[in-house]
Amino acid sequence: MASLFARLGRWLARLAGQGHSCKGQNRAVSVGFDGVELVRQQYQESEERFRRLLESLPRVAVQGYDRQRRVIYWNQASTTLYGYSAAEAMGQPLEDLIIPAEMRDDLIASHRAWMEHGRSIPPSELELVHLSGERVPVFSHHVMLGEHTDSPVMFCVDVDLSDQKRAHRDLDFATRFDALTCLPNRQALEGQLNEALETCLVRKVGLAVLYLDIDRFSEINDALGYEQGDQLLSQLARRLRGELRLTDLISRVSSDEFVLVFLDTGQCGEVYHLVSKVQYAMRQPFMINGVERSITASLGVSIFPEHGNGARELIRNANVAKNRAKLDGLGGLQFFQRHHHDELVHQQRLVEKLEQAIERQELELYFQPQVSVASQRVENLEALLRWKPHDSDVFVPPDEFIPLAERSGLIHPLGEWVMEEACRQQAAWRAAGFRETRVDINLSGRQLLRANTLTRFEACLERHGLAPQDVGIELTENVLIDAASRVLEDLRRLYHRGVRIAIDDFGTGYSSLSYLKHFPVTSLKIDRTFMQDSPIRPADRSILEAAIFIGHRMGLEVVAEGVEYQDQWRLIGQLHCDLAQGYYFHRPMSAADIPPLLERHTNRRVAAS
Ligand code: C2E
Ligand code: MG
Ligand code: MG
């Protein structure tokens, strides 16, 4: 842009120079008449070319002003920029035409100073006035021609900056606001919150930061599509804004996460009141494309000054509390506690290590036998994943690392490894002549969200030359209830091919028995919590009894988990449970310990063919 002005300026200045030489005809006379005529012609041609050039520049507005600043030249681009036609502009003083009132006196003085003292007006960004009264941002460059003559002409060369200004504004908006909800983004919120914290310090008051994360938003997005997901977010943003007081802050900090800041609130009671208003607002259904949709969100709260001094720390701690709330299930609420943060750091380190567990061969499958209650024969082996990090002597409990793997997505490579290893091991045992025991693997809900998990399982069986009866799967009831129809179709196919499908931890999930008949399952594994006190607590005993009874009525095989003591063993015998799994018989053991066990038990070793 600057070089364009420089060139135009030089051109206009050269033209002014030519004007001088034309006027100083004394010098030309000595050149002779033909020479003068030639110079005049060249000058006229040059001026014509220049005029044509100025007229043809659509975005460069050029105006010429005489000694009294009256318009003597007005190109088409000036009409486009300022709204006056050339005919309307001609003869009008510059200051009455496009100069805002507040600049008028300065302009007249500067123009005079240029003509009288040669002090040029420097190029600058200005806001001039359109015929409609609107302001027009321009970059204006000025050239004085014939400066030292009786008829100096000032040319103004203006370039419209509206597009750049708009682009700047858009960029500024994009860097500080979220385009979908028009709420401030995380950076903008941090700035606002830091300012608010300074006010809090002066006024000696507290504030509360609420971190809100929509539960299972990615599933909502997958099910309804991004467009409806966006509608939901916009509606939620409007609703949340409606819950705020004028001084409170709100931001969309990432796709499905919002942060709300309640100023002047440090007391738990007040915070609970505000949070419950937000919870209430969330509970009302959203109308998306004419259909009512309900959502839940996990909430975390941090309070100033107890949980941090700066914006970043308070937001992070509210997020830590929210992550903690997520562990409690859908729609949870947690206030920040220091140990949550330490726990999170510990978990993050574990996830980093877990990422390398497969490569470093730190994983192993243990197998826990299931024993027939009638014959005490080992019927099945449940494959249970074990992980011993390279820098540790002990196993990390699966209850600790499996949920982490699920949240971080690592469950997919881990699950694949389990599938592959269980099939490989079962094929090896089959080849060694152990033909009668089945191996069961656990599949988590997150694994089934991947469309091809079950087809990969079938492919894995085939790759290892196994029959569908050789390896079964265990799923929890919630996984079945939440399963997409595509997953249920795959399960039905597996069921009809003869794969054993067990409901794991039965009794701890939805526990609605009516759903059982809708799902393709072959066994129930009653959770060990019902086993613990069943010999002494009539309530637990009744649940156990009912589960075994209903399981049998539905033609399912029933397995009692966590059988540790003789009286439990005796009880499940009386209740005609089919299989028992627990420390009373066998703890989970390494693959190497399985063949001697199978040989010792009644499982006959069939000669390998
Ligand atoms: P689960 O599938 O219900 O597995 C049974 C758990 O109960 C095992 O814990 C087993 O060691 C334990 N157990 C068995 N008998 C007794 C007993 O008599 N008393 C007591 N107190 N516990 C007993 P483990 O191996 O720690 O596994 C815990 C959970 O981790 C499993 O529960 C399963 O949900 C998950 N898990 C383990 N391996 C895998 C895997 O490969 N994939 C997935 N997705 N989850 C797995
Ligand atoms: Mg299991
Ligand atoms: Mg279980």
Looking at per-residue confidence, does 365 or 529 come out higher? 365
User: In the predicted model, is pLDDT for residue 246 greater than 80?
Assistant: yes
Give pLDDT, residue 40. Answer: 81
Cα separation, 527 vs 510, in Å, equals 13
Q: Which residues surround ligand 2, an ion (CB under 5 A)?
A: 442, 474, 504
Each residue's pLDDT tens digit, 437-459? 999 999 998 898 888 999 999 99
pLDDT at 127 over 60: yes
Most informative mutation of 411, 442, 444, 534 for ligand 1 (most atoms within 8 A of CB): 442
Topology adopted by domain 2-166: Beta-Lactamase (3.30.450)
| Tens digit of each residue's pLDDT (9 = 90 or more) over 88-98 | 999 999 999 99
Task: Give me the percent of the chain exceeding a pLDDT of 90.
Answer: 63
Q: Is 476 helix (H, G, I), strand (E, B) or coil?
A: strand
Whole-prediction pTM value?
0.62
Nearest to 365 by CA among 296, 443, 420, 318: 420
Would you identify the CATH topology of the domain 369-386+412-602?
Answer: TIM Barrel (3.20.20)
Residue nearest to atom 7 of ligand 1 (CA): 562
Asked if residue 16 has pLDDT above 70, the reply is: no
What pLDDT does residue 225 have? Answer: 87
Residue 297: the pLDDT is: 95
- Number of helical (H) and strand (E) elements in the chain, helices listed first: 24, 21
pLDDT of residue 598: 93
Distance between CA 199 and CA 191 in Å, rounded? 13
Place of tokens 């990432």: 254
Q: Where are the domains of the chain?
A: 2-166, 177-336, 369-386+412-602
Nearest to 94 by CA among 130, 131, 68, 126: 68
User: Is 418 near ligand 1, meaning CB less than 6 Å away?
Assistant: yes
Residue 582, Ramachandran bin (φ over 0: left; ψ between -120 and 50: alpha; else beta)? left
Ligand 1 atom nearest 411 alpha carbon:
44
CATH superfamily of 177-336: Reverse transcriptase/Diguanylate cyclase domain (3.30.70.270)
- Report pLDDT digits (tens) over 52-100: 777 777 778 999 999 999 999 999 999 999 999 999 999 999 999 999 9
| Mean pLDDT computed over every residue of the chain | 88
Residues 6 or more apart whose CB falls under 8 angstroms from that of 228 comprise: 288, 289
The pLDDT score that the predictor gives to residue 13 is 54
Residue from 363, 384, 385, 416 to probe ligand 1 pocket by mutation (most atoms less than 8 Å from CB): 384
pLDDT of residue 449: 84
Q: What per-residue confidence (pLDDT) applies to 432?
A: 94
Residues with Cβ < 8 Å from 498, sequence gap 6 or more? Answer: 467, 468, 469
CA distance 111 to 119: 9
Whether the per-residue pLDDT at 155 is higher than 80: the answer is yes
Q: Which ligand is nearest to the CA of 368?
A: 1
Pocket flag, ligand 1, residue 588 (CB < 6 Å):
yes
Question: Quick check: 608 pLDDT over 60?
Answer: no
User: Which ligand gives the minimal distance to the CA of 402?
Assistant: 1
> Cα–Cα distances in Å, from 266 out to 129, 159, 273, 337, 433?
51, 54, 12, 15, 70
User: Is residue 33 very low, low, confident or very high in pLDDT (cuts 50, 70, 90)?
Assistant: low
User: Residue 607: which pLDDT band, with cuts at 50, 70 and 90?
Assistant: very low
Ligand 1 centroid–CA 384 distance in Å is 6
State both tokens at 517.
């008949």
Between the CA of 529 and the centroid of ligand 3 the distance, in Å, is 10
Q: Measured from the CB, is residue 505 less than 6 Å from ligand 1?
A: yes
- Strand ranges for 315-377 from DSSP E: 333-335, 363-372
